[in-house]
Structure 1
Amino acid sequence: MSDPVTALLHAVDTLDWDGVLAVLAPEVRLDYTSLWGGSPEYVAAPEVVTRWRGLLPGFDATQHLTGPVLEHDDGVGGRYATTVRAYHHLVDGDTRGTWMVAGRYDIRVGDGGRITAITLHAAYEDGDRALTAVAAARCAAGSGGRVGA
């Protein structure tokens, strides 16, 4: 298998939910506070997939582009770091746009090579964050974007 960061983001962009589950530990520490606020949380892997399935298929395309993925052995399993640009594109009637988040991922893996923690350090956004509401509504309605994929 390639590094778990690349495997995860490729699975996310292709809506391969079994692939996402294959790289996640049973429980994952998620920290998207730099983007959404709130607090880091521990989430069961199937719930992570449920959340992402409730948003990402509502976009017509997503693309997570990373820089080189650097691996650091921390004696506990490992740590991966990379820069990222995450593009989320949506076309819905007169609504057309792209929301892009740029930053850096810090991802930890356990002894089994599965991801135990994901931290996004967002640097900046470009485009319209409100597209997430349209994408989520498409998912809830069961149509639009790549919902049927």
Structure 2
Amino acid sequence: MEGSKIIQAINNLFKSVDDRDWEYMQTLFADSVLLDYTSMVGGEPAVQTPLEIKEAWASFMPGFDSTQHHISEFRVKLHGHEADVHYIGNADHFIGDEVWTISGSYDTKLEKIDGNWLITYLKLNYDKQSGNLYLPKRARERVSNLQS
């Protein structure tokens, strides 16, 4: 039962990103989240608030016409009110008929707070990217043009 709730929380995160439902997305995170995309973008992992994550993702993702996250093969380890989850993920990002795809796996930690499983840690284990590798730059430009 708890495993299903944990997997649903993770699925809800990626669906909210694909739907651009930033307000709902924020409710899926704990007050403080260690976000680690360093395997793809370099730098250091950073502790962020849900609002900071929203602002970062909402300043980039709308530059794509759509995105589709596909996650599967969940392995959930429960430790009382905490859970560690490993799963496979692919993210397709579309502009017109062009696509940029990121593939890898994720490690996510959740904590049960006030009856809800909230994400406290999200790490991408980058494997590869394919398709049009220039689409991220175009997406950033499109967002910049919308804000001008």
Q: TM over 0.5, yes or no? A: yes
Select which of 66, 69, 92 maps to 1:64. 69
**Could you tell which deviates more after superposition, 71-80 or 113-122?**
71-80
Aligned mates of 1:9, 1:65 — CA distance in 2: 8
Q: CA deviation at 1:129?
A: 2.8
Q: CA deviation at 1:76?
A: 5.1
* Cross-structure match for 1:138: 142
Select which of 26, 34, 38 maps to 2:31. 26
Higher fraction of strand: 2
One-letter identity of the residue aligned with 1:74: H
Q: How do residues 60-99 of structure 1 correspond to structure 2 at under 5 angstroms?
A: 60-75=65-80, 77-91=82-96, 97-99=98-100
* Cross-structure match for 1:115: 119
Q: TM-score, normalised by structure 2?
A: 0.87
One-letter identity of the residue aligned with 1:135: A
Q: CA deviation at 1:97?
A: 2.1
For structure 2, the residue ranges without an aligned partner over 5 or more in a row are none
Q: CA deviation at 1:128?
A: 2.6
* Cross-structure match for 2:132: 128
What RMSD over aligned residues (CA atoms) do the two structures have, in Å?
1.6
Percent identity of the aligned residues?
Answer: 27
- Conservation of the 8 A alpha-carbon contact between 1:5 and 1:80: no
Deviations 1:89-144 (A, max 9, x none): 113xxxx521101110111112321101100001111123321121112112227x
Aligned length: 139
> For 1:38, what is the secondary structure of its paired residue?
coil
For structure 1, the residue ranges without an aligned partner over 5 or more in a row are 144-149
One-letter identity of the residue aligned with 1:97: E
One-letter identity of the residue aligned with 1:16: D
Deviations 1:56-81 (A, max 9, x none): 11101100001132221134511121
